[in-house]
Amino acid sequence: MKLYGSPASPYARKARVLIKEKNLPCEFVVEDPWPADSPIPSRNPLGKVPVLEIESGSYLFESVQVVHYLDNVDGKPLTPSDAAVGRILAALPPDTLVILTADHGGHGRVHGARIPVDMTISWIIAGPGVVADHEIAAPVNTMDTAATVAYVLGLTLAPDAAGVPVLEALGSP
């Protein structure tokens, strides 16, 4: 990864501090947005820094988005989302089956590109009957969420339904 920004930019500095704090493999490249021949406008339509190059030719901009991405890229976010989920779980009856997931990822203000940051989401399941401390090896598709819920509730899926129950998580072959 590369972070483009000017050394004086406080917005770029937020990201630089996070990169340092998390020891992320991200090179800081000095690039001012003001010169007429600056490459920044071709990477961020707003013409501002910081701009994060996630992989060759794929750019993320707006410091809030950049910092959010950098905080989550190593799977060890410093922000308190885990604690927020913990409060929700604490309020639920202990035998509740919970699936924590999202419909898509994203970068900048868009999603839908065939790149990992747009296409990869968390899929976490916990509760009665779920294999504990297990990382699901098989790929899981968003459509598998509904299929898994139907399976757990004992509902029969229509033959042409998309998605399959994530049986691996439920200890079934």
Ligand X SMILES: N[C@@H](CCC(=O)N[C@@H](CS)C(=O)NCC(=O)O)C(=O)O
Instruction: Indicate the residue among 63 and 148 with the shorter CB distance to ligand X.
Output: 63
Cβ at position 117, least distance to ligand X in Å: 17
Under the criterion CB under 6 A, does residue 47 sit at the interface with ligand X? yes
Under the criterion CB under 6 A, does residue 28 sit at the interface with ligand X? no
Sign, CA dihedral 64-81-71-169, equals negative
Instruction: Indicate the residue among 35 and 75 with the shorter CB distance to ligand X.
Output: 35
Q: What share of the chain is helix, strand, coil (3-state, %, to 5)?
A: 30, 15, 50
Under the criterion CB under 6 A, does residue 62 sit at the interface with ligand X? yes
Alpha-carbon distances of 28 from 16, 33, 40, 63, 128, rounded to whole Å = 8, 15, 14, 14, 46
Nearest alpha-carbon partner for 81 in 60, 58, 106, 102:
102
Instruction: Indicate the residue among 62 and 168 with the shorter CB distance to ligand X.
Output: 62
Cβ at position 155, least distance to ligand X in Å: 46
Binding site for ligand X (CB under 6 A): 9-11, 33, 47-50, 62-64
